[in-house]
Amino acid sequence: MSGRVRFGVVVFPGSNCEYDAVHALGTFPAAHPYYLWHKDHDLQDPDVVVLPGGFSYGDYLRTGAIARFSPMMGEVAAFAAGGGLVLGICNGFQILTEAHLLHGAMLRNRGLKFICHAQHLRVERTDTPFTRRFEQGQVIQVPVNHNEGSWTAGAESLQRIEDERLVVFRYCDAEGNVTDAANPNGAVDNVAGLVHEGGNVLGMMPHPERVCEAILGGTDGRALFGSLIDTVLERG
Amino acid sequence: MFKVSVYVTPKQAILDPQGATIERALPALGFEGVENIRVGRFITLEVDGSEEDVVRRDVEDMCRRLLANPIIEDYRFELVDVGPFPGAGLGGEVLLSEDTPMHVAGEHAASPWTAVDPYAHREEKIGE
């Protein structure tokens, strides 16, 4: 049997999706998920670092603004700089933008409502460690659950994101059309998830860890974690 | 010691749905002709120091790194040197009574920059 793929899930005060992430990863025999406390300095030799959803520091000041200064985030940044795989989900995505490990910033949803529904996403790239098991243009359904998910970026960043094809998931309708009507929060260009230039750090607002078991209403998230496992096992 | 007021507002180019919502609510109260409402944050600090240049630079740093997100927010701040005597307000009041809820800035004052972790008691539980 091949080696266990280590997923370190960082827990901040106010994180509330770390259990779901560890549970979902536990449905993959090849995965070994474990918790990491935000104040520690040892990532414990992960293959993938996961920043889970929640309300770290109560979303005080700005969502993710304080968590980015947690001691463990220094280690996460170094891990990412060295090519390590980092997945930020929802609040994790927010923390990654505040930490400048991903382009852009988060605004309050344009409708001012906390949204909570099964959202269609179009997979824009399949040549990343996070999406290699998907088909190009595939439409998947993943729950969204947030009040501040309207991703935006400055003109320069947007140009770079366009040039480097950094967008990985866009909000779309059931047919895969990326339209304003299908945009649940006003995010620029319907961006639901993107990577940084190195391709090893992904942030996404929807929760793939919530669609890994059929009993919960969908399994579209399995291909994402499966892609990461494939990538790590391939590296040997 | 300096009393600092920081104003953080969304950049003009950013859509401010809160401001827009308030704008739409005002006519219902009978106010017409009100436009361009922007909702931001007002933060006050007390900063130890005697040199305005140093304090100004530090506050600038705080704004850029934490108090505001320069990608989506503008910030400006004002500071007032209230002198070397802790507790001296602008009106010259000196806070001495233990009954007053306000701190006298000094060795017993909690610095706003002291990290206090309300979840410290969780440390033993995480990592199971």
Give me the interface pTM, i.e. the ipTM.
0.88
Backbone angles phi, psi at B97, to 5 degrees: -70, 140
Of A18, A98, A148, A209, the active-site residue reads: A209
**Hey, are the CB atoms on A105 and B119 less than 8 Å from each other?**
no
Task: Determine the Cα–Cα distance for residues B123 and B49; give it in Å rounded to an integer.
Answer: 35
Least confident segment among A20-24, B12-16, B57-61, B68-72: B12-16
Report how far apart, in Å, the C-alpha atoms of A226 and of each of A25, A62, A144, B84 are: 9, 32, 20, 62
- pLDDT bin (cut points 50, 70, 90) of residue B89 is very low
Helix (H) / strand (E) containing A179: none
Q: Can you tell me which residue has the tokens 């993938």?
A: A48
Topology annotation, domain B2-124: Mth169; Chain: A , (3.30.1280)
Q: Can you tell me which residue has the tokens 């900063």?
A: B47
User: Residue B8 pLDDT more than 90?
Assistant: yes
To the query of whether residue A148 is one of the catalytic residues in this protein, the response is no
Residues of A in contact with B40 (CB under 8 A): none
Q: Write out pLDDT tens, residues A111-126.
A: 999 999 999 999 999 9
DSSP type of residue A127 = S
Of A38, A146, A196, A207, the active-site residue reads: A207
- CATH class of residue range A5-235: alpha beta
Mean of the pLDDT values across residues A6-18?
A: 97
pLDDT score for B86: 58
Q: Count how many Cα atoms sit within 13 Å of the Cα of residue B2 in the half-sphere of its side chain.
A: 20
Does residue A72 contact residue A92 with C-beta atoms inside 8 Å?
A: no
A·B CB contacts under 8 A = 50
Looking at chain B, which residue has its C-alpha nearest residue A11? B126
Q: Write out pLDDT tens, residues B38-79.
A: 999 999 999 999 899 999 999 999 999 999 999 999 999 999
- pLDDT bin (cut points 50, 70, 90) of residue A2 is very low
Task: Determine the Cα–Cα distance for residues A123 and A120; give it in Å rounded to an integer.
Answer: 10
Q: Residue A174: which residues within 8 A CB-CB, separation 6 or more?
A: A120, A139
pTM comes to: 0.85
To the query of whether residue A146 is one of the catalytic residues in this protein, the response is no
Amino acid at B2: F
**Hey, are the CB atoms on B21 and A112 less than 8 Å from each other?**
yes
Which residue from B71, B118, B123 is facing A104, i.e. has the nearest CB? Answer: B71
